[in-house]
């Protein structure tokens, strides 16, 4: 029925498309996918209504592991039922994503989450309704399948688009190509979505530490000022909230090459949360914390007291709005911030200030103030939040 | 109006001399504009009337003289005849404009016919014939199969205002005062100069009587024009038939019956407030009547252009005549009754003149009034009458007997409504009789839900006809004034759909545009913008005008229909495809005016109306909830079904399961799940079987998909319980 409306790729699966050589991991993932489908068939035969149990991805279902200093996922699950009016569609979408992943694995191909969205998007037979209205509807479903099958995105042959760059005295092998990250021109090395060992191997590194900044503008400043040469470090950014590729890269560099990680982020709730995600893992993808979290990461700035200490112009202040205040209080009450006095003070002071600061604010003082004075001084003083 | 009437002047002048003089006078009373024109025909005494005025005008030039003296004024003070009064105030009787005049004429004739048939115990069969005889001129013929009228009464009944059998008794009937048909005849003579023609037959063997009559408005007496002032007899045999044919008398061959033909100035319209509507509504409330209706557009020689056949052969039970109840009396009336009573004791007077007054009650009244039960009525003075009146009001007297009212009955209400109004759900409720001001009355309410609006089903040719006839200025106005239950919102929607400018004049549409409009009227869903259609009846007579002033409309608006599943703005008519019919039966219906168009709001009547409306409302609510449930269940199943195919395909893609088999199995589960989800639980968590919730008697549910599939829900429920 629905097959007719699907084009090309779908036919290839059932047709005579050459089957790719499957790795052991692929076989395991396939087995999981088939298991999921078998359960549905089984339920239908027994006239039970089929369901999928998907681990809850919310603050209520994460636990802060004090010993390991990272977020772990709890055991709460959301039951997604086919015969529930509000869940019927997302159930259908989940099964659809599973079948799309199965097809990718069998053909030995990978695609971006956007590609998968287009692969699965079609009109439902006999209606004018689309399986997915937009990509935003598809992305969380892909995450659901990842969590539900307890497999990683790359195991499902899906990746996100690249975001985040790296520059520094590091040589690595990316899909067989040797890359010297100190000779990548002005834009640096673009960190891929999947940086697992089978894709990337570190060959040589002379850097002493990693400096992670929030966004491209600041990263460019550091790169242009050759901060990484002067201080012998690796310089990365994640374009705001760092994608999993960047986080996994930092995690590997930290653990495998023993490089400490310092973060230079905005002085606002979102900056705090980026730090929190890098350090403890994210609430949404708590099951990946083990691979992603860097519990030793340090927060060097911007600090709430920097406005006065650095003598910044009042015009760089951005007033806190209601949402910011709410979010700041929420972050302050997270278990992993709750008992850290310096952090509580930091957040309190920001709320008392009534404004937030972006790292870019330092540029207003002097274009290279951030690279030549601010950061070196903090690093030299060892003044950071943990 | 004045202009239209001048056209008729030549026709008048061709009449006899008396005729001409009369009509001239009547007209002068009617309108200033015509006065000048008819000056020449005035009688001398009338110009004498004007003398004082001219005298005043002449003397006015001099300073401060009295304008008129008591003597000069006395010269112009004289009797006013009833006929003269109503000729001047024709709007009081429903002859405000030509359109309404035509309708009122037919209405009065049909009402009289029905009353006569029912009183004589004859199943009524009525012929209504409207024929156009000139621009703005129509000939109306109404014939019945009633008992006929004896010869000497005919001129009085049709030619004298306030002459009749119905005024002096308390008995449920359509007519009340004895004004209607004679007023219609008077209006006809006034506007066209043609006499009223009556033919009446009492028995097949006896001759039929044929009269041509005019009202002498000055004396309020009939003036017979044919047979040298005596009327003519038509032989019952072949000879009579030839006579009828020769003189062009209209008559449907019957054993007995009456036909009245009135020619009048009028305007024939369709849609709201039309003759069509009146007859249709009459058919609803009188399911025992067979109605033949020949409208002006009917071709020659056709007999039954529109036939409303009867849906029952049972005559309504004969209403009984009752004596007035003491609570309904007023002081002045009591005094008059005392005066008129022959010499008898007070106790005798009370028990014989009123209903529900036994000698015990009479003595209690007399005690309270401080009068002797044996006092002679002739000796009761003004003060005693006053005491007696207050004593009556203070004494507890049981409510009047209510078996004098004959309601339509729930069964026939349903039948009648279903016969004429398309719908899917019908409910009727007859309230027990009640009393206002000592007059027994009874309220009946019936409701039809669903079905299409008249706008949805109007045929193309009728629509173009309607458009041509309409005097509405804009298309929008035309739509909302022509079709019942079509609000301005819905009209806008239709016009938009038809892609015609909203301000287009209805008469100027091109053929293609009319077709487009027709298409739009069919396709636009009018349910949402449709307002409730309220049909009002008093003693089985439809009330078509002054709806806002009527207690029925007011109570419908005051009822909270939202509780019963309809949309309603505050104190407005609810919206939706609903027709509600409210009937008030009473020995004396309290109309707000003599044109009998609106019922007055007595608290007792309001209360009964409210209860009646609520009782049909509750049932409607139950039906709508049940319907909604079925709809929701269907929708729910639909949502599941939509995704089942996708799920089955995806799963079989993953594990190569048999797609068809999986789909069928999932389908089964879906059905099981939806039925479970829809079951409602009571407080104790048990499943309530909503079907068992009884809609009760007198409910008619029609499957909208089939036209005649009527099933009685009651019977179905009965089976379930057993």
Residues of A with CB under 8 A from a CB of B: 1-3, 10, 13-14, 33-34, 36-38, 40-41, 43-45, 47-50, 82-83, 85, 88-89, 91-92, 95-96, 98-99, 102-103, 124-127, 129, 131
Residues of B with CB under 8 A from a CB of A: 636, 639-640, 642-647, 649-651, 653-655, 657, 659, 662, 665-666, 668-670, 672-674
B646–A92 C-beta distance less than 8 A: yes
Mutate to test the interface with B, among A37, A47, A50 (most CBs of B within 10 A): A37
At a CB cut-off of 8 Å and minimum separation 6, what does B652 contact? B658, B659, B662
Q: Out of A13, A49, A91, whose CB is closest to B653? A: A13
Banded model confidence at residue B344, pLDDT cuts 50, 70, 90: confident
Banded model confidence at residue B143, pLDDT cuts 50, 70, 90: very high
Domain A2-159 sits in CATH 2.60.40.1080: no
How confident is the model over B475-499, as a mean pLDDT?
74
Q: Which residues of A touch B657 (CB under 8 A)?
A: 37-38, 41
pLDDT in tens, B583-625: 999 888 888 877 778 899 999 899 999 999 999 999 888 888 8
Residue A178 has pLDDT above 90, yes or no: yes
Instruction: Tell me where in chain A the CATH 3.40.1360.10 domain(s) lie.
Output: 165-381
Helix (H) or strand (E) holding B449: strand B439-449
Which chain A residue's Cα is nearest to B652?
A37
Question: How many Å lie between the alpha carbon of B660 and the closest alpha carbon of chain A?
Answer: 10
Residue B318 DSSP class: P
Output the CATH code of domain A165-381.
Answer: 3.40.1360.10
Q: A316 or B175: which carries more pLDDT confidence?
A: A316
pLDDT in tens, A282-317: 888 888 888 889 999 999 988 988 888 888 888 999
Residues of chain A with pLDDT > 70, as a percent, come to 95
Residue B694: its pLDDT value, please? 62
CB A130 within 8 A of CB A6: no
Instruction: Return mean pLDDT, chain B.
Output: 77
Question: How many Å lie between the alpha carbon of A79 and the closest alpha carbon of chain B?
Answer: 16
Q: Out of A3, A33, A131, whose CB is closest to B654? A: A33
Banded model confidence at residue B39, pLDDT cuts 50, 70, 90: very low
CB B343 within 8 A of CB B377: yes
Cβ-in-10-Å burial (0-12, 13-18, 19+) of B474 comes to middle
pLDDT in tens, A31-49: 999 998 999 899 888 888 8
How confident is the model over A226-233, as a mean pLDDT?
92
Residue B707 has pLDDT above 80, yes or no: no
Residue A87 DSSP class: T
Q: What tokens appear for B303 in the block? A: 């007999």
A1–B673 C-beta distance less than 8 A: no
Q: How far is CA B306 from CA B294, B309, B465, in A?
A: 7, 9, 17
Banded model confidence at residue B28, pLDDT cuts 50, 70, 90: very low
Q: How far is CA A55 from the centre of its chain?
A: 18
- Coil vs helix vs strand at B425: strand
A37–B669 C-beta distance less than 8 A: no
| Alpha helices by DSSP H, A128-173 | 135-149
Instruction: Tell me where in chain A the CATH 1.10.10.10 domain(s) lie.
Output: 2-159
Residues of chain B with pLDDT > 70, as a percent, come to 80
Output the CATH code of domain B326-394.
Answer: 1.10.8.50
Residue B605: its pLDDT value, please? 92
Q: Three-state SS string across B450-469, please?
A: CCCCHHHHCCHHHHHHHHHH
Residue A322 has pLDDT above 70, yes or no: yes
Residue B334 has pLDDT above 90, yes or no: no
CB B454 within 8 A of CB B423: no
Tokens 């398309």 -> residue: B422
Q: Out of A34, A44, A131, whose CB is closest to B666? A: A44
Residue B140: its pLDDT value, please? 92
B666–A50 C-beta distance less than 8 A: yes
For residues B312 and B124, give the distance between their C-alpha atoms in angstroms, rounded to a whole number. Answer: 11
| Alpha helices by DSSP H, B656-722 | 659-678, 713-721
B643–A40 C-beta distance less than 8 A: no
Q: Are strands B533-538 and B541-543 parallel, antiparallel or unpaired?
A: antiparallel
pLDDT in tens, B530-552: 778 889 999 888 988 888 889 99
Mutate to test the interface with A, among B650, B661, B668, B675 (most CBs of A within 10 A): B650
Residue B7: its pLDDT value, please? 42
Q: Which residues of A touch B666 (CB under 8 A)?
A: 44, 50, 82
Residue A67 has pLDDT above 60, yes or no: yes
Residue B62: its pLDDT value, please? 55
Output the CATH code of domain B403-452+530-722.
Answer: 3.30.230.10
Q: Out of B645, B650, B657, whose CB is closest to A125? A: B645
**What burial letters (b/e) apply to A202-222, b meaning 16+ CB within 10 Å?**
eeebebebbbbbbbbebbbbb
For residues B454 and B462, give the distance between their C-alpha atoms in angstroms, rounded to a whole number. Answer: 12
CB A77 within 8 A of CB A60: no
pLDDT in tens, B657-693: 888 888 888 888 887 777 665 555 444 444 445 444 5
Which chain A residue's Cα is nearest to B644?
A92
Residue B125: its pLDDT value, please? 93
Helix (H) or strand (E) holding B84: helix B82-88
For residues B246 and A280, give the distance between their C-alpha atoms in angstroms, rounded to a whole number. Answer: 114
Residue B16 has pLDDT above 60, yes or no: no
At a CB cut-off of 8 Å and minimum separation 6, what does B631 contact? none
| Alpha helices by DSSP H, B234-345 | 238-247, 275-285, 331-340
Mutate to test the interface with A, among B634, B639, B669, B674 (most CBs of A within 10 A): B669
Residue B45: its pLDDT value, please? 44
Which chain B residue's Cα is nearest to A38?
B655
Residue B486: its pLDDT value, please? 67
How confident is the model over A127-132, as a mean pLDDT?
83
Mutate to test the interface with A, among B649, B656, B663 (most CBs of A within 10 A): B649
pLDDT in tens, B450-460: 765 566 667 78
Which chain A residue's Cα is nearest to B657?
A41
A96–B654 C-beta distance less than 8 A: no
Mutate to test the interface with B, among A88, A90, A127 (most CBs of B within 10 A): A88
CB A292 within 8 A of CB A244: yes
Mutate to test the interface with A, among B638, B651, B668 (most CBs of A within 10 A): B651
How confident is the model over A350-363, as a mean pLDDT?
91
How confident is the model over B336-351, as a mean pLDDT?
83
Q: A351 or B721: which carries more pLDDT confidence?
A: A351
Residue A362 DSSP class: G
Residue B49: its pLDDT value, please? 45
Q: Out of B645, B670, B673, whose CB is closest to A2? A: B645
Question: How many Å lie between the alpha carbon of B492 and the closest alpha carbon of chain A?
Answer: 29
Q: B15 or B631: which carries more pLDDT confidence?
A: B631
Q: B14 or B507: which carries more pLDDT confidence?
A: B507
Q: Which residues of A touch B673 (CB under 8 A)?
A: 49, 83
B647–A124 C-beta distance less than 8 A: no
Residue B105 has pLDDT above 50, yes or no: yes
Q: What is the dihedral of CA B357, B359, B360, B364, to 10 degrees?
A: 80
Q: Do domains B88-308 and B326-394 have the same CATH topology?
A: no
Which chain A residue's Cα is nearest to B655?
A34
B653–A102 C-beta distance less than 8 A: yes
pLDDT in tens, A76-128: 888 888 888 788 888 999 999 999 999 999 988 889 999 999 999 988 877 77
Sign of the dihedral through C-alpha B517, B523, B529, B530: positive
B649–A44 C-beta distance less than 8 A: no
The H helix count followed by the E strand count for chain A is 17, 17
- Kindly write down the DSSP assignment for every residue of A270-316, as one continuous string: HHHHHHHHHHH--STTGGGHHHH--TT-EEEE--TTHHHHTT--GGG
Residue A211 has pLDDT above 90, yes or no: yes
Which one of 3.90.1150.10, 3.40.50.10610, 3.40.50.150, 3.30.565.10 gives the CATH number of domain B88-308?
A: 3.30.565.10
Q: Which residues of A touch B642 (CB under 8 A)?
A: 124, 126-127, 129
How confident is the model over B377-399, as a mean pLDDT?
85
How confident is the model over B478-507, as a mean pLDDT?
75
pLDDT in tens, B189-216: 888 988 899 999 888 888 888 889 888 8
ipTM computed for the complex = 0.78
Residue A359 DSSP class: G
Q: Could you tell me the residue ranges of all domains in chain B? A: 2-61, 88-308, 326-394, 403-452+530-722, 454-523
Q: Out of A38, A103, A126, whose CB is closest to B655? A: A38
For residues A32 and A156, give the distance between their C-alpha atoms in angstroms, rounded to a whole number. Answer: 11
Residues of chain B with pLDDT > 90, as a percent, come to 10
Q: B170 or A113: which carries more pLDDT confidence?
A: A113
Q: Which residues of B touch A43 (CB under 8 A)?
A: 669
Residue B552: its pLDDT value, please? 92
Q: Out of B645, B654, B665, whose CB is closest to A34? A: B654
Q: Out of A13, A41, A96, whose CB is closest to B662? A: A41
A102–B643 C-beta distance less than 8 A: no
For residues B62 and B291, give the distance between their C-alpha atoms in angstroms, rounded to a whole number. Answer: 69
The Cα angle at residue B101 between residues B96 and B103, in degrees rounded to 5: 130
Residue B553: its pLDDT value, please? 92
Residue B222: its pLDDT value, please? 87
Banded model confidence at residue B299, pLDDT cuts 50, 70, 90: low
Q: Out of B636, B646, B654, whose CB is closest to A2? A: B646
Domain B454-523: CATH architecture, name and number where available: Orthogonal Bundle (1.10)
**What burial letters (b/e) apply to B101-132, b meaning 16+ CB within 10 Å?**
bbbbbbbbbbbbbbbbbbbeebebbbbbbbbe
Residue A386 has pLDDT above 70, yes or no: yes
Residue A266 has pLDDT above 80, yes or no: yes
At a CB cut-off of 8 Å and minimum separation 6, what does B719 contact? none
Residue B677: its pLDDT value, please? 54
- Set A91, A118, A189, A334: catalytic member: A118
The question of whether A159 is a catalytic residue gets the answer no
Which backbone phi and psi does B248 adopt, to 5 degrees? 60, 35
By mean pLDDT, which of A193-197, B274-278, B417-421 is the weakest?
A: B417-421
Q: Which residues of B touch A47 (CB under 8 A)?
A: 665, 668-669, 672
A99–B673 C-beta distance less than 8 A: no
Banded model confidence at residue A237, pLDDT cuts 50, 70, 90: very high
The residues pairing with B170 across neighbouring beta strands, listed in sequence order, are B322
Q: Which residues of B touch A50 (CB under 8 A)?
A: 666, 669
């Amino acid at each position: 029925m629905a097959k007719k409306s699907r084009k090309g790729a779908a036919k290839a699966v059932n047709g005579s498309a050459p089957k790719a050589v499957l790795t052991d991991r692929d076989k395991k993932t396939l087995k999981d996918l088939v298991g999921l489908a078998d359960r549905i068939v089984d339920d239908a035969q027994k006239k039970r209504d089929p369901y999928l149990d998907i681990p809850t991805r919310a603050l209520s279902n994460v636990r802060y592991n004090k010993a390991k200093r990272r977020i772990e996922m709890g055991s709460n699950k959301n039951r997604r039922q086919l015969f529930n009016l509000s869940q019927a569609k997302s159930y259908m979408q989940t099964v659809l994503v599973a079948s799309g992943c199965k097809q990718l694995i069998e053909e030995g191909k990978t695609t971006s989450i956007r590609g998968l969205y287009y692969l699965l998007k079609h009109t439902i037979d006999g209606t004018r309704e689309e399986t997915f209205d937009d990509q935003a509807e598809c992305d969380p479903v892909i995450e659901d399948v990842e969590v539900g099958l307890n497999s990683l995105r790359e195991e499902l042959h899906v990746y996100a688009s690249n975001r985040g760059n790296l520059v520094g005295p590091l040589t690595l092998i990316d899909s067989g190509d040797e890359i010297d990250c100190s000779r990548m021109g002005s834009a640096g090395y673009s960190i891929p979505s999947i940086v697992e060992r089978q894709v990337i191997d570190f060959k040589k590194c002379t850097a002493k530490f990693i400096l992670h900044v929030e966004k491209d503008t600041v990263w460019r400043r550091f790169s242009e000022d050759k901060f990484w040469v002067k201080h012998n470090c690796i310089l990365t950014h994640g374009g705001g909230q760092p994608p999993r590729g960047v986080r996994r890269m930092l995690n590997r560099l930290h653990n495998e090459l023993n490089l400490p990680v310092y973060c230079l982020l905005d002085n606002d709730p979102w900056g705090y949360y980026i730090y929190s995600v890098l350090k403890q893992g994210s609430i949404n993808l708590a099951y990946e914390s083990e691979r992603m979290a860097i519990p030793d990461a340090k927060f060097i700035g911007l600090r709430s007291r920097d406005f006065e200490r650095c003598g910044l112009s009042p015009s760089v202040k951005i007033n806190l709005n209601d949402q910011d205040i709410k979010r700041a209080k929420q972050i302050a009450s997270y278990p992993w911030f709750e008992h850290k006095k310096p952090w509580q003070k930091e957040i309190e002071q920001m709320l008392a200030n009534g404004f937030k600061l972006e790292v870019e604010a330092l540029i207003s003082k002097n274009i290279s103030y951030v690279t030549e004075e601010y950061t070196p001084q903090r690093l030299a003083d060892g003044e950071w939040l943990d | 109006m004045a202009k239209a009437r001048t056209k008729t002047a030549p026709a008048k002048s061709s009449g006899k001399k008396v005729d001409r003089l009369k009509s001239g006078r009547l007209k002068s009373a009617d309108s200033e504009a015509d006065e000048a024109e008819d000056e020449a025909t005035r009688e001398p005494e009338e110009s004498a009337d004007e003398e004082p005025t001219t005298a005043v005008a002449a003397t006015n030039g001099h300073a401060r003289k009295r304008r008129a003296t008591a003597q000069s004024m006395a010269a112009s003070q004289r009797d006013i005849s009833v006929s003269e009064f109503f000729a001047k105030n024709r709007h009081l009787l429903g002859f405000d404009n030509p359109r309404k005049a035509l309708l009122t004429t037919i209405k009065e004739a049909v009402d009289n016919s029905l009353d006569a048939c029912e009183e004589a115990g004859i199943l009524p069969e009525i012929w209504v014939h409207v024929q156009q005889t000139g621009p703005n001129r129509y000939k109306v013929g109404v014939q019945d199969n009633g008992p006929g009228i004896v010869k000497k009464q005919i001129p009085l009944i049709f030619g004298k205002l306030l002459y009749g059998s119905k005024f002096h008794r308390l008995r449920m009937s359509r007519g009340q005062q004895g004004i209607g048909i004679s007023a219609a005849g008077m209006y006809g003579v006034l506007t066209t100069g043609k006499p009223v023609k009556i033919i009446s037959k009492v028995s097949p063997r006896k001759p039929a009587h044929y009269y041509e009559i005019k009202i002498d408005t000055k004396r309020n007496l009939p003036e017979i024009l044919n047979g040298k002032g005596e009327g003519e007899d038509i032989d019952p045999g072949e000879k009579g038939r030839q006579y009828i044919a020769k003189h062009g008398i209209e008559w449907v061959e019957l054993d007995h019956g009456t036909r009245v033909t009135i020619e009048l100035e009028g305007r024939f319209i369709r849609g709201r407030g039309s003759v069509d509507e009146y007859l249709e509504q009459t058919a609803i409330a009188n399911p025992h009547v067979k109605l033949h209706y020949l409208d002006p557009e009917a071709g020659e020689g056709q007999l039954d252009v529109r036939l409303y056949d009867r849906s029952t052969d049972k005559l309504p039970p004969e209403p009984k005549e009752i004596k007035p109840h003491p609570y309904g009396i007023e002081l002045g009336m009591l005094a008059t009754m005392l005066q008129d009573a022959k010499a008898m004791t007070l106790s005798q007077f009370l028990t014989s003149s009123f209903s529900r007054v036994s000698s015990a009650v009479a003595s209690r009244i007399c005690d309270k009034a401080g009068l002797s039960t044996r006092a002679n009525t002739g000796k009761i003075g003004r003060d005693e009458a006053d005491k007696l009146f207050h004593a009556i009001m203070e004494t507890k007297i049981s409510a009047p007997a209510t078996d004098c009212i004959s309601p339509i009955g729930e069964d026939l209400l349903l039948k009648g409504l279903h016969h004429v109004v398309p719908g899917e759900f019908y409910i009727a409720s007859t309230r027990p009789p009640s009393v206002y001001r000592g007059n027994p009355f009874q309220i009946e309410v019936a409701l039809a839900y669903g079905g299409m609006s008249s706008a949805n089903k109007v045929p193309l040719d009728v629509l173009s006809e309607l458009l041509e006839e309409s005097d509405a200025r804009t298309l929008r106005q035309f739509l909302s004034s022509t079709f019942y239950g079509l609000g301005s919102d819905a009209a806008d929607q239709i016009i938009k759909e038809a892609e015609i400018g909203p301000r287009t004049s209805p008469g100027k549409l091109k053929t293609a545009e009319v077709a487009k409009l027709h298409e739009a009227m069919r396709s636009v869903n009018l349910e949402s913008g449709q307002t409730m259609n309220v049909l009002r009846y008093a003693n089985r007579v439809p009330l078509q005008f002054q709806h806002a002033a009527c207690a029925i409309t007011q109570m419908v608006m005051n009822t909270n229909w939202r509780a019963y599943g309809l949309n309603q703005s505050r104190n407005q008519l609810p919206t939706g495809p609903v027709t509600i019919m409210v009937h008030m039966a009473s020995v004396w219906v309290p109309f707000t005016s003599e044109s009998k168009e609106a019922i007055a709001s007595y608290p007792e009547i309001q209360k009964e109306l409210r209860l009646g409306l609520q009782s049909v409302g509750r049932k409607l609510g139950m039906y709508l909830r049940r319907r909604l449930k079925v709809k929701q269940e269907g929708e729910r199943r639909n949502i599941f079904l939509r995704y089942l195919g996708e799920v089955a395909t995806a799963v079989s893609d993953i594990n190569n399961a048999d797609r068809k088999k999986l789909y069928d199995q999932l389908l089964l589960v879906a059905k099981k799940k939806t039925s479970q989800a829809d079951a409602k639980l009571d407080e104790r968590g048990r499943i309530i079987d909503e079907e068992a919730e009884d809609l009760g008697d007198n409910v008619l549910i029609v499957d909208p998909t089939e036209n005649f599939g009527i099933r009685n829900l009651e019977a179905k429920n009965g089976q379930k319980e057993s």
